[in-house]
Structures are given as structure tokens and as C-alpha cells.
Structure 1
Amino acid sequence: MTHKTKGIVLRTIKYGETSLVVTLFTELFGIQTYMVNGVRTSKKSGGKANYFQPAAILDLVVYHNELKTMQRIKEVRWAFIYTNIFSHVIKNSITLYMVELLHKCLKQPESNTDLFLFFEDALLQLDIADKTVTANFTLYISLHLAHFFGFRINDDYSETQNILDLQEGSFVSQRPTHPYFIEDEPAHLTSQLLKVMQPQELENFKLNQDIRRRLLLCYQDYYALHIQDFGKMKTLVTLHEVLS
């Protein structure tokens, strides 16, 4: 049986001489893996391999069998063509970070329409974002993506509760006995960033690269504490280099 669904490309691996194994976050079925045959030949494929770039948003007709771990795609076309994300070095690096973060969090192939719509909109907003919004985008996505996986940080910051306990995901009044906490300016900034509901509001945050770097490393620790086998973000090193 075939189904129409949107999909966001998370990862593409070359297979054999002409094929790809593509991991997609689909609106209908959640994370899925697809075998795409014959798309890397120069003549017959018509450049179809270009569809499967990380973060590409696609309209798909797919074959779906819940008993199989590898699905197939019948038809594919662009759902949206970016203006900047594939060509702008900084935006592309941020996009790859976003895609890796989402991929690390998606453990089961189950539908999550709200998450799909949030992530799709975030990509569209990044594509048109100005310089300041772009620079702060990774902070926004890191904090707000956690909500969809059940461990969003509680924004209960106050003058007395001004230390963020990353294990508990809330602000506390005393330093925890473990090393996973944020205090001082980074804690206050995290509280302010948690209040951001739309990416355009990031325009109000005039941050330097050092504080962004420190926050992203802390947020990586936060995910590692709450997502099993999360590990380290491979794209974070490249992102720091591009943004420096």
C-alpha cells in the first residue's frame, strides 16, 4: 500500500554503485529508513540524488510495511526549495547540527506530527533569518526540541533559584553535588531563551561566540543526561569553527 507524506532527510548513505540508504523523519510514520535505487547514475536518474541532502523537505509517495525495517519510495519531489540553507555556509552548518540533534533523539519509528511541524517550521525560519537570529538559532532549537521528548527545562528561574541543575532540568538555589549545572550569566540567559516562542525573538539576544559555545556544550550535556546513548554531537566542532 502506498501513502503520501512529507519527509525531512536526516542521513544519506551510499549503497552499492547507484543506490542510497536514506533516513527520513516523516510526518506520517516518524523516523524511517528507505532504500532508493538507481539515483546515483548520471543519465537515468535525472539528478534525483540531489533530493536526499540532509534537511531537504520532500513530498513523498512511499510504500510502507510495519513488518519491515527498510521501506521504499515510489515518488519524490521537493516540498520546499530553500533560498539559503544549502548554499549559505553558516546556515548549512546550523542545519546539519539541527538534523543531527533530531536524529539522536528519535529512537522509535512512531508518528509525531507536532514535532514534525515544529522542526519543519524551524528550518523554514532559519532559511530566511537575519544574521543575529541565525547566530542564536542553535540555542533556540536545543532548548525547545527537548519539549517534544518530555524533558524540557522548567523555567522557574528567580533571584534565589538561579542555578540550573541539568540532571533535574530545573533551577535550584544551591549548587548540586554533581558537576552538571549552569550558573551566573549562562543560567540567566538560558531562562531568557526558554521564553522565546518564535525564532524572530532571537533578534533581542546580542551574544558573543564564547557564551554561545559554552551554552551549547552545556546543552549537549543536558541531552546526554536525558537521552540514552546520546554521545557527542559530531557537528558541534564544525559549527564552532564556522561561527568563530
Structure 2
Amino acid sequence: MLVTTQAIVLSKLKYRDNDLIVKCYTQQLGVVSFLLRGVLKSKKGGARTAYFQLLSQLQLTLNYKDNRSLQTLTDVKLNHLYSSLHTHVLKSAIVMFLSEVLSSGLREEEENETLFSYIETTLLWLDVQSEYANFHLLFLLNLTKYLGFYPDIKNSDSRYFNLVEGKFQDTPDNRNTITGEDLGLLKQLLGTTFDDLPTVKINGKQRQSFLNMMLLYFELHLGSFKPPRSLQVFNQVFN
């Protein structure tokens, strides 16, 4: 079945000497992986691989078969040319980090057009911004809405947040209950839009603590989720 769909690149991996395996999140098919044969040995292949930078937004045509783990790509076009995401050092660090989060977190995801639209539009927003130090924090928090474990905002005036239950409460009852600065920032971000992010003023230590808390939240709710390998470098860049 020939399928043309919008796609966002999640990862790419060299396979054998000259092949490339690319994983994308697509609008119509969810997560799809495909094999690009021989692209690393030819001059034309080099031009083709340039399309598959992390989080690039593409239009793909696939010869799709349900029983295949690796699909066959028949055509690729660039859907949007970023102005800064792949050329600005700090934004490139965000791209690398979020691509790992999405590649792990969307592993079992099927078609979800609202989730695809969320990722697509927020990346376009980031591409044109000059203030974005807290972008990844709000991105991850809002992502939980589409993955099914967005915090229950009832009782949000409580003194604790239970990461396992995803809800606010008045007493701590396990080691995965947060309070203090992480709780305060969570409450603030729950009422913040991306355009209002510059009003969120926190230091590097607070940013790193909240990010670690969010990654734990993902681990607790997504059995297959693993912390990004780029986390240490990412924290050094943004702290």
C-alpha cells in the first residue's frame, strides 16, 4: 500500500557499512522505521541523508506493509526548512535531547494526529524564538497530556504532588512525592503557554532539578522509557 504522510524524524542509525535505518513519527501511521540502502556510499545518497536530520519535518511516500518492521521509502520531500534548529548550538542541543525523549516515549504510539500536530507546531515555535531556556520543560509537561498521564489539576493548591498517581495531595506517601521548588514550578507551568514562557524565571539548578523530576515522571508512566543519553551534555549546556 502506497502511503504519503507528514513525518518528523526521531532517530537515525548506521546499519552495516552503507545503509541507514531511520525512525520517524508520522501523521498517518504513527512510528515508522525504514531502511535506506546504500545511501552512505554514493554522492546522491549523501544529499538524500541530509533530509533526515533529527526532528526534521518531511513528507514521505512509503510502500507500507503491516507485517514489516522496516518499510520501503519511495520518495521524500522537505516539509519545512528550519531557520535555526539545526544551526544554532543551543537549539541543536534541545533537538538532540527531545529527539531521544520522543524516540523512547513514542515507541508504542500509533496514529495520533493531535499529538503529531503538537510536536509539529511547537518545533516551529521554537525555531523562531530568541528566549527558550525553559522550552523543554513545558514541552515535556504538555507532552504527557497526549501520552495519557497529564497531572490531575484538582487539588492543585495542595502541598505535594504524587508522581505515581499523577495528582496533588496534602500528605507525602511515597518516595516519588515532590514538594518545594519542583512543586512550585510544576504549578506555574501548568498555567503557562509557550508564549508566556519568558515570564518563568528560574536558575540552572532549579531547571535541572525539574527536568530530572519530569524524566522520572515519564519513567514511572512509560514502562519502556529510558533517560536520554544526551542528558548530561544537555544539562551542561543549559545550566
Same fold (TM over 0.5): yes
**2:167 counterpart (167, 170, 190):** 170
1:154 corresponds to 2:152: yes
1:189 corresponds to 2:185: yes
Percent identity, aligned pairs only, is: 30
Counterpart contact for 1:164–1:182, Cα < 8 Å = yes
Q: Give the Cα–Cα distance (whole angstroms) in 2 for the partners of residues 224 and 240 of structure 1.
A: 18
Structure 1 match to 2:111: 111
| Change over 3 Å in CA distance of 1:44–1:231 after alignment to 2 | closer
Q: Give the Cα–Cα distance (whole angstroms) in 2 for the partners of residues 43 and 22 of structure 1.
A: 19
**1:228 counterpart (223, 229, 233):** 223
Q: Deviations over 1:99-149 (max 9, x none)?
A: 211121223352111111100111111111122xx1001110111111111
1:204 corresponds to 2:202: no
Q: How far is 1:158 from its partner? A: 4.4
Q: How far is 1:188 from its partner? A: 1.7
**1:180 counterpart (176, 181, 198):** 176
Q: Give the Cα–Cα distance (whole angstroms) in 1 for the partners of residues 224 and 16 of structure 2.
A: 29
Structure 2 match to 1:35: 35
Q: Give the Cα–Cα distance (whole angstroms) in 1 for the partners of residues 35 and 211 of structure 2.
A: 34
- Structure 1 window deviating more from structure 2 (209-218 vs 147-156): it is 147-156
Secondary structure of 1:234's match?
A: coil
Structure 2: gaps (5+ residues): none
Structure 1: gaps (5+ residues): none
Amino acid at match of 1:143: L
Q: Give the Cα–Cα distance (whole angstroms) in 2 for the partners of residues 26 and 68 of structure 1.
A: 16
Alignment map for 1:38-57 (pairs within 5 Å): 38-45=38-45, 47-57=47-57
Q: How far is 1:221 from its partner? A: 0.9
Q: Give the Cα–Cα distance (whole angstroms) in 1 for the partners of residues 196 and 37 of structure 2.
A: 43
Q: Give the Cα–Cα distance (whole angstroms) in 2 for the partners of residues 95 and 208 of structure 1.
A: 21
Runs of 4+ with deviation above 4 angstroms: none
- Structure 1 window deviating more from structure 2 (147-156 vs 71-80): it is 147-156
**2:143 counterpart (142, 145, 161):** 145
Q: Deviations over 1:220-244 (max 9, x none)?
A: 1111111103232222211101112
- Structure 1 window deviating more from structure 2 (13-22 vs 137-146): it is 13-22
Q: Give the Cα–Cα distance (whole angstroms) in 2 for the partners of residues 231 and 12 of structure 1.
A: 17
Counterpart contact for 2:63–2:74, Cα < 8 Å = yes
Q: Give the Cα–Cα distance (whole angstroms) in 1 for the partners of residues 95 and 44 of structure 2.
A: 30
| Change over 3 Å in CA distance of 1:46–1:218 after alignment to 2 | closer
The number of equivalent residue pairs is: 239
- Structure 1 window deviating more from structure 2 (213-222 vs 101-110): it is 101-110
Structure 2 match to 1:93: 93
Q: Give the Cα–Cα distance (whole angstroms) in 2 for the partners of residues 44 and 203 of structure 1.
A: 43
Q: Give the Cα–Cα distance (whole angstroms) in 2 for the partners of residues 121 and 235 of structure 1.
A: 23
Counterpart contact for 2:105–2:224, Cα < 8 Å = no
Counterpart contact for 1:157–1:188, Cα < 8 Å = no
Structure 1 match to 2:212: 217
Normalising to structure 2: TM-score of the pair?
A: 0.95
Amino acid at match of 1:205: V
Q: RMSD of the alignment, in Å? A: 1.5
Q: How far is 1:74 from its partner? A: 0.5
Counterpart contact for 1:40–1:48, Cα < 8 Å = no
Alignment map for 1:73-92 (pairs within 5 Å): 73-92=73-92
